[in-house]
A and B are shown apart, each in its own frame.
Chain A
Amino acid sequence: MMSRMKILGYYLSGLLLVTGLSLATGVRAVETTNATHFNVSYKSNVEPLPLNRIHSWVLHVATRDGKPVEKATISVYGGMPAHRHGLPTQPEVSEIGGGDYLVQGLKFSMMGKWEMWFNIRAGDVTDKVKFDIEF
């Protein structure tokens, strides 16, 4: 006869196998970029991405061969498509230099799936990047 605790142990490890640790620890961030011209990445000043707290990102924009893109005009929008609402804040983007851009005033106020979109225009080139984030 297997003990109750042992059963529980298997039960939990089974669940872990299936769901993966990531779910249990909260946030998952995936970049599914449809950017064709630029490589875009971000770094948050709070890691892991916080739920319900104002924070900022540094967005790095480079060309496909890795050269920083400067003097780009970047607009930001996003929200939770499944809940049909946008961001709870109006973030602002400013250039730092060396291909880095400061995105201030970000906040994810709710559990679930978020999308963050950046519209990037540099010279004649316009590109769009999307980050999927899930809490």
Chain B
Amino acid sequence: MRLSLISNTVWVLWFCCLSFATPTAADPGWSESELALLRMQWIGSLPELPPDPTNKYADNPVAAELGQKLFFDKRLSANGKVACASCHVPELSFTDGLARSKGVGETSRSAPSILGIAHSAWFFWDGRSDSLWSQALGPLESAVEHGGNRSQYARIVYRNPVYRKQYEQLFGALPDLSDSQRFPENAAPVEDEDAAVKWQRMSETDRKAITRVYVNIGKAIAAYERLLMPGVSRFDRYVETVLKEGAPETTLLSADELAGLRLFIGKAMCVTCHQGPLFTNNSFHNVGAPDLATKRPKYILPIFYLFIDKPELDTGRHKGVQQVLNSEFNCLNEYSDATENDCAELRFANKKQKETLGTFKVPTLRNITKTAPYMHEGQFKNLTELLKHYNAAPKAHVGHSELMPLNLEGKQLMQIEAFLHSLSSSPDVADELLRTPEY
């Protein structure tokens, strides 16, 4: 008995030492703390979707149905050619393959994936929206995206019998828009001067009536977006097996992918920000992605600068936090259904300029192979380039990068890249929700 106790102790010590050696691929011998991290990243740990107190219709199935139609409807644009789905293509994990997205014009940023987006408290790379519905209202009136205006959109719902019926079933009677003197076809607080002047001439009550329809369009689209969730990837199946059966002799992940996973949650520290089942903490960080404004043409004769737009550095959250605080559609405003207590994220948002400068929202890494090019402005064409950036951790052009050089070898970077490939999955959504609905 005593002997076996001693020999047990010896064994225990022996295996403790072993745990510091690199394990083989088939039996990766995850430590307890590594297992805790694997579980944290596993899709099975995704919490129930948090309620959205700013949107009474967030979980209403009729709203989601209407929202899906609107999401795919190109009529909601200045030229009849742009829908949300033009830049958020379901087959590309709801991105568009471009560095800078193109609608009616060209935007200054890259379209992020919106799978799992309803788990975030902030929207856009700079978090200038604090609800999914108010986010949707951004592109609709942006001169370079849909390029239209709220009066136009209200009228589309008013004229289309299918939209009208579903709208009124949800939100009550639409205002009577038949008088186009009172309710011009195009009027809104937008860049377009004609529409802006007409908007100013409307009475405040009429402006509010139109804005209310506009807000409800956003709330319906948000209800649809809440259904868009990523599915189970090869990585998730691996973790599930490990959690159930211990370190299995599995072929779910290759030796390189396993080594990459170990680096991801360990030495490379990716998991500190890309944390949780969606591989994002939905918070703002500075990783010093090069600002492309610094790369635009340099002229020897300064006179030429007069003929080009002065490139503006993208300060990210620094500007975004001011925008959301001043937004007519934020959590504390009249169009939000929330009470003040529901608005903690907004009320306690970090407004310190030094700390927010050059920070961007951490994007999800699920389906990363489908969402190139990478970063807020598509700075990196592929993952190889991106990982070189993380390895070197150069100084940021804007603010201060939080990264430290990783000093990994080329092979290790390749392994992280291999691991990232295991995060692909089909959306966990019925097929009918991934295309233009029939009606």
Contact = CB atoms under 8 A, between A and B. Distances in A.
A62 B246 CA distance: 49
Contacts of B36: 23-26
A17 interface: yes
B348 A11 contact: no
Nearest to B286: A85
Interface string B1-27: 000000010011111101100000000
Interface of A: 5, 7-8, 10-19, 21, 23-26, 51-52, 54, 83-92, 104-105, 107, 109-112
Interface stretch (B166-174, B274-282, B290-298): B274-282
A122 B402 CA distance: 36
Contact of A85 (B14, B16, B402): B402
A14 B352 contact: no
Given A14-B14, A14-B15, A24-B32, 18 more contacts: A11-B18, A13-B12, A14-B16, A51-B275, A52-B281, A54-B344, A83-B272, A88-B283, A89-B348, A89-B350, A90-B349, A90-B351, A92-B348, A109-B283, A110-B273, A110-B275, A110-B283, A111-B272
Contacts of A52: 275-276, 281-283
B400 A11 contact: no
Does more than half of chain A's interface fall in helix, strand or loop, or is it mixed? mixed
B158 interface: no
A105 B400 contact: no
A15 B19 contact: yes
B12 A23 contact: no
| Chain B: number of interface residues, binned into ranges | 35 or more
A12 B32 contact: yes
B361 to A, nearest CB: 11
Given A111-B271, A112-B272, A17 B16 contact: yes
Given A15-B32, A110-B281, A111-B275, A90 B348 contact: yes
Interface string B180-191: 000000000000
A50 B69 CA distance: 38
Interface string B396-431: 000010100000000000000000000000000000
A44 to B, nearest CB: 15
A9 to B, nearest CB: 9
